[in-house]
């Protein structure tokens, strides 16, 4: 294949739409896209996705739940599709789109790749993969604010311990509230991404806050861009401006209650589910947080 491929993956709510829509204008000789998610009517985004991926893929098969990376992830995690079937389906859904692009560098940013990463690596062995993780204390609330944004969301399967045979949580699931379930989702998805990145030399993991919310965000964004534009025998130049960093898309309109104002019970619930993993990413080390979750 004469194209260079980059896939950006996360648990969602981490700026993947920014990468999918903006990197094509930041990096030379690059086209970027955000995988069409659930079908939600003929919006401007849907029309653009039809142009890129085709009417059958974006509309007909999406409504019937027979197409898309979300569908593949759910079927694979549930054990309904084996690795070879997934690899074949990825190639069927992507090869024509990739070869149809005039640019040499193709970036696809979409969080639902999280359940397919080993298969994605086998489908496109030379690709670069970047994972993005976000502090669970803001991710969980951001996720809850966006749960009802899809017109046909009722057709989508929900990830659950039963789907992936997570026996530690299967018996507890019915008694867990929506907040606790979202915490489990953060732990599970980011665990899959972290496990893959740790064993794959062509993958890197970045923190959402370092890319978008700190004073040093430009430096961290340069690290990500340097990684995804360097293919050894071929490199791509890019132009990153402060204005482009401030143009992150799909931000929640509402400001959630930040964790310093949470009741102790809520903080402890998140810590119990996400604590081990969040500490690996450097989250939850603040003295105020440690005091809030401390056992009396």
pLDDT tens track for 80-98: 999 999 999 999 889 988 9
Q: What is the per-residue pLDDT across 204-222, written as a single tens digit (0 to 9) for each?
A: 999 999 998 878 889 999 9
What is the set of domains in the chain, with CATH numbers? 4-251 (3.40.50)
Q: What is the per-residue pLDDT across 4-45, written as a single tens digit (0 to 9) for each?
A: 999 999 998 888 888 988 999 999 999 998 865 554 555 666
Note the pLDDT of residue 3. Answer: 96
Structure tokens of 108? Answer: 């696809």
Note the pLDDT of residue 45. Answer: 62
pLDDT band for 250, please (50, 70, 90 cuts). very low
Cα–Cα distance between 55 and 44 in angstroms, integer? 14
Cα–Cα distance between 113 and 10 in angstroms, integer? 8
- Closest by alpha carbon to 119, among 73, 152, 74, 78? 73
Note the pLDDT of residue 283. Answer: 97
Q: Does the pLDDT value for residue 133 go beyond 70?
A: yes
Note the pLDDT of residue 61. Answer: 59
Note the pLDDT of residue 182. Answer: 92
């Amino acid at each position: 294949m004469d194209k260079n491929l980059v896939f950006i993956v996360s648990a969602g709510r981490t700026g993947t739409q920014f990468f999918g829509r903006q990197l094509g204008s930041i990096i030379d000789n690059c086209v970027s896209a955000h995988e069409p998610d659930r079908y939600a009517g003929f919006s401007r985004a849907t029309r653009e996705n039809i142009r890129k991926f085709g009417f059958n893929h974006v509309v007909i098969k999406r409504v019937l739940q027979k197409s898309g990376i979300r569908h593949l992830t759910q079927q694979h995690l549930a054990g309904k599709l084996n690795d070879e079937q997934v690899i074949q389906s990825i190639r069927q859904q992507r090869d024509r789109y990739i070869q149809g692009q005039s640019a040499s560098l193709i970036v696809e940013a979409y969080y639902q790749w999280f359940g397919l990463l080993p298969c994605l690596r086998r489908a496109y062995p030379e690709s670069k993969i970047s994972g993005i993780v976000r502090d669970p204390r803001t991710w969980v609330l951001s996720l809850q604010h966006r749960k009802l944004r899809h017109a046909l969301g009722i057709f989508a399967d929900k990830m659950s311990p039963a789907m992936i045979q997570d026996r530690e949580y299967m018996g507890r699931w019915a008694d867990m509230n929506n907040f606790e379930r979202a915490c489990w989702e953060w732990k599970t998805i980011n665990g899959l991404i972290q496990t893959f990145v740790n064993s794959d030399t062509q993958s890197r993991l970045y923190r959402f806050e370092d890319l978008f919310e700190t004073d040093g965000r430009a430096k961290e964004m340069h690290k990500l861009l340097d990684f995804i534009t360097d293919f050894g025998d071929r490199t791509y130049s890019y132009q990153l401006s402060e204005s482009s960093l401030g143009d992150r898309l799909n931000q929640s309109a509402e400001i959630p209650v930040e964790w310093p104002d949470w009741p102790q019970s809520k903080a402890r619930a998140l810590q119990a589910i996400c604590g081990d993993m969040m500490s690996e990413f450097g989250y939850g080390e603040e003295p105020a947080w440690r005091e809030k979750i401390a056992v009396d």
